Chains A and B, each alone.
Chain A
Amino acid sequence: MTAADLRVGEKALITAAADVPISARLMEMGCLPGVSIELLFKAPLGNPLAFALGDGYLLSMRREEAQLLEVIKSND
């Protein structure tokens, strides 16, 4: 699954980023394999999405960008 499939409040771990140029930017912004990611809230029209990454910093991105991040759900 990808980060775009998360529901609000669901937590996951990033496992990989797709092979497209934007991924480089996502990684520079802290979306790295092994980092925890939680969908905190969505914009009123459902897009973009706001994620809490790692220690709790907030990063917003569009659904299309979130689809580039492969994740696995974590249980805590």
Chain B
Amino acid sequence: MTDGGMRYIVLAGNPNTGKSTLFNRLTGLRQKTSNLPGTTVERRAGSWNLSGKRCHLVDLPGSYSLFPASADEAEVAMVLASESQTPDLIVYVADATNLRRHLLMFAEMAELGIPMVLALSMMDMAAQKGLDISIEALSLKLGVLVVPVNPRTGEGVANLEAAAAKTTSSWASTADAGTPEQAMAKLRNYLAGQELVQPEQRKTDTSRRFAFIGKIVDAAITRSGPVKRSGSRRLDQLFTHKIWGFVLLFFILYLIFQSVFYLAEAPMGWIESGMAALGTYLADHLPPGFFNRLVSGGIIPGLSGVLVFIPQIALLFLFLSILEDSGYMPRASFITDQLMRKAGLNGRSVIPLVGGMACAIPSIMAARTIPNVKDRLITIFVTPLMSCSARLPVYVLLISLAVPEGLSIGIFDARGLLLTAIYLLGAITAFVVAFFASLFMRQRGNSGFIMELPDYQWPRPANILQGMYQRCKAFVWQAGSIILIISVLLWLMASYGPGNHMEQAGRKAETHAIQLGLNEDAVSQHKAAAMLEHSYAGLLGKAIEPAIAPLGFDWKTGIALITSFAAREVFVGTMSTIYAVGSEEQQSIKKKMAAEVNPVDGKPRYGVPFALSLLVFYAFALQCTSTLAVVRRETGSWKWPVIQLFTMTLLAYGASFITFRLANIFF
């Protein structure tokens, strides 16, 4: 029982049984996502009204066995084996078209002695396949109440509720002679040591359970017609075709990437301008002072930096959910598995890598479905190398600095070509790093690519929207809090400096700018830039200048690099403050920047080598605290984010250094 005496019920079953649709139907809109500490996997929970009594309902990830093969499956075993809170009831959802396999985990769970109810979905499909299922026989032999349900229409849900309300103790028959306590101890041992249950023992147990299930299923099911082949086969001939399979895959990915890119643009603009307006409003209406500046200068821009990602994350998950729900995703993994393996990855890495072009955060979460630990870690490791959407504004600014407008190479626009090249650089590097990482990493776990290819089906809008909402919410709460903290910290560092150097420098710059006859905007920008130079952030920039000088960067770029850590696109804002590149004075100040000469070699300081070097740096560097946080959460330790940060920084530094040296020869 949970706190307050509510009954604690879990929803379990294999993937593709309509379990999530059933969950949505049972809980209505009364649900929340909770991320319990200590676990690395999210689970959905809600409340279910059982004849007037509110129950706590948890939706477990779809799984094939209690003995987990992947992180999302481990979740199921951990919930059931929990020492502190054992569920009061398991509602097990099984697909009636393939009862034998679906009942295996049912049998594993029944041995634990937790009361169970069996919900049979896909009864209509079973009838189409010519299967006649006797509910009474099944119920009698299994020792639990069996209820046919149709999650999509809601048919049978009332019966399921009645059955769940009635079932308060376990009468399930099992194939095991042992006691529930022994079965539970076995499961806990397995979870604690992974290898404690010998594979041989597990095979014997599985055979025993299947033999038990086989007898029951044979008695309860009569086949009234011939086996009908589903229309899925014809679709498979297309989607797994030697040539068309790949053509379609690339076309779909291209479509998703483009849509995430263009459809998100407008809402991202609204969020940014909305937050900016809110910041201005608060700055004007809150009493002046520290709190006012903290809110309008630190918290609001920080929040904006989090919220602005929502459109892209929502869109990315919209498309990925459609692909998942339709049954296409397993086929995409199926056809690319062999290619991915050559690079040390897995067919299932396709999803995170493609998603990485929008945002690494949800993509790293999507790597959860990769059962092989090594493949999953390498996928998580290289996903941030894919150029994400946050890098784009930085790329655009730097490319405009490096390549003159209108320059073309052959029929291609030179700026477009450079942009494509930088995206390719990231993707190719991801595969190269994956290859080397696979040489160094020890193989852990053993499942390669054993995967069900479910029948294709039309995506269900309610499920897709639900999933989208949950994931956005998870992102805002988890990554959001970290971005916010860092932003506030950076704001403090950029707003304050030791002693009164900042004020003095600001006043000096102001006087100087007024003497030059600049307009009001330019004067305040010059003042802000001078004050930033003497702030803690500015001092930090100066401090790291010797380290980044070989890459062609000065202390001002250093501040931008540091502030970029909250989120990469902060770079653009920081640069405009530091370089005082305002909206009105842009042209002349750009010229001034171009004219600024490096005293060491007499070449322009912010020329082509600088821009190219910084471009390469941004392509490789892991300047994203949210990514680090999510990797920490997904891998369960700081080890991986630290190695990742180190590797990618080294890569960025090295590549940037080489780029700067080479570019200096040519430009």
Contacts and interface: CB of A to CB of B under 8 A. Distances in A.
Interface of A: 17, 19-30, 32-33, 40-41, 43-48, 50, 54-62, 64-65
A47 B337 contact: yes
Interface string B333-368: 011011100000001000000000000000000000
Contacts of A57: 97-98, 101, 452
The listed residue with most A CB atoms (<10 A of its CB), out of B100, B101, B232, is: B101
B199 A20 contact: yes
- Count class of interface residues, chain B: 35 or more
A17 B450 contact: no
B451 interface: yes
A62 B65 contact: no
A20 B448 CA distance: 13
B451 A27 contact: no
A27 B449 contact: no
Interface of B: 64-65, 67, 69, 97-98, 100-101, 104, 129, 199-200, 202-203, 206-207, 210, 227, 229-230, 232-233, 236-237, 240-243, 245-246, 330, 334-335, 337-339, 347, 446-455
A28 to B, nearest CB: 4
Contacts of B229: 56
B64 A29 contact: yes
- Select the residue from B207, B337, B450 with max chain A CB neighbours within 10 A: B450
Contacts of A24: 67, 199, 202-203, 206
A33 B214 CA distance: 12
A65 B449 CA distance: 8
Contact of B98 (A26, A48, A55, A65): A55
B339 A21 contact: no
B450 A61 contact: yes
A39 to B, nearest CB: 13
Nearest to B454: A58
The 6 closest A-B CB pairs, nearest first, are A58-B453, A45-B338, A21-B199, A30-B101, A28-B65, A24-B202
Contact of A44 (B207, B246, B454): B246
Interface of A is mostly: mixed
Contact of B338 (A21, A22, A47, A61): A47
A22 B447 contact: yes
Contacts of B237: 41
Given A43-B334, A58-B452, A28 B100 contact: no
27 contacts: A17-B203, A20-B199, A21-B199, A21-B446, A22-B446, A24-B206, A25-B65, A25-B447, A28-B206, A43-B240, A43-B338, A44-B241, A44-B245, A45-B339, A48-B347, A48-B449, A54-B98, A54-B101, A55-B97, A55-B227, A58-B454, A58-B455, A59-B451, A60-B449, A60-B453, A62-B448, A65-B450
Given A29-B452, A58-B454, A61-B449, A23 B203 contact: yes
Contacts of B236: 40-41, 50
A27 B243 CA distance: 33
A32 B245 CA distance: 31
Nearest to B210: A32
Contacts of A19: 199-200
B101 A48 contact: no
